[in-house]
Structure 1
């Protein structure tokens, strides 16, 4: 069977939004070639494990490739996707150059080709992400291995926003915390939380496809199989009291999440947010402060920012 490849060249900050649009349109899988992935491989003194060729990447921005079965593909899908991408501008996201190319490809040409972009990646001293088809031996006894199948683009650990989220979790987890992972995507943050010693972990995503992707990845990691995952709109109707809420999502979605996170966090609890483009940092910081969160730490990679905020021990 042949497949229809829909390739969209887009600004890096819109990669997640465009990926979700394509998945919801019926794509069987999405791959991402992001110029920032090449520049943002962390160099923390442990050696470079992720082997990439600069020639494989764009000079700037990102290329999102979605694959549709020829059995379901229709011109109406393209029209709908184009309209939804244009609508992202009204949410403050840059979409340039917004170039779309549609081609027909044979199944054998794409089914495994994207795997060349994914290799074992050491995120921190304690966290290493390993594609489930690779063999990898831990380099020291305290190294935590996270197995992932990046068949769907819901956060493979290579994007700066995911790396910042993982670093934030490592900074904050002390052991046995109750953690809520909002917009879980691939489930990588929930898996990492369990690897780092968290107690109960609850993962939520609005997208049923993401929930399935997260479940499949969680099952690849024996220590994380008790993560509870469900479809949910952010933290709506969630009554669990948490020590940590973590969200690697767009700034526009973090805004309405702020009061919800405040409501579920225990006094002294931490709110870890990522997915924030630098130009929206001050807006999110202001909203957090207006909610009476204390800003503990800012982390940044290139144009992306993560924020660690704390709910005071005693509410004013």
Structure 2
């Protein structure tokens, strides 16, 4: 069977059995068709040496792109093995490209406090402007619920769950999850719904559609400037990072954080653990059995008779 037919079958399996998103399928199609072209249409029959030569040809691409291409090859050859099209999977012996996930920018608690002080002041009073109330709610949901910018701006009005303790989020891969809605966010939401026009299907309408990610980005930076914070240091995504890092500092469970952030792989969530190094040191110093032993030894020394 030709490479083209096998790639098509593989993508059908990924969609039907694994629920791969449209973007993932497009990326895998592109990677496998490119690999087949480099292998002159003989990708499905390639041996380990041919696959190594193929991966060596990706030396000019980024490490993350090379890692994705390797993942596509490994899964494709695993599929060929499962389907009886091959008796082995040479892709398992391919070396994984070295990748280094960039650490997220960290926003301090003081900066977060200043943002909220500014937003709350602008949305205060008896008759605050609608844009100020909207900005306060947007800030509450970015930092208080950890939403992605695209998830936030496209929230439909029906995203509100019955008890309004959660938001129903449709995230990456078109997968739904529940995001926590704090008491502060619910209060801001109550204020904002009074400004919503009748008949709109969006929580943050703008014209005939919803607020754009670009406009949200601009609004966050404009708020930062008014709060006396360098706008270049803040974005909607930085606020999402702050939500994650500050929760971990407060003792949040990594699995719970994974669910709230909507990460398919907990390895993605683990990137936030780097910010918690101080608490880990304190945990060892004060909670480890050796810490208690050191305290006991000091007590013994204090009770020992002097020479």
Please give the TM-score of this superposition, normalised by the length of structure 1.
0.24
Q: Computing the radius of gyration over CA atoms, which structure comes out larger, 1 or 2? A: 2
Please give the TM-score of this superposition, normalised by the length of structure 2.
0.25
Which structure's residues are more often strand, by fraction?
Answer: 1
Which structure's residues are more often helix, by fraction?
Answer: 2
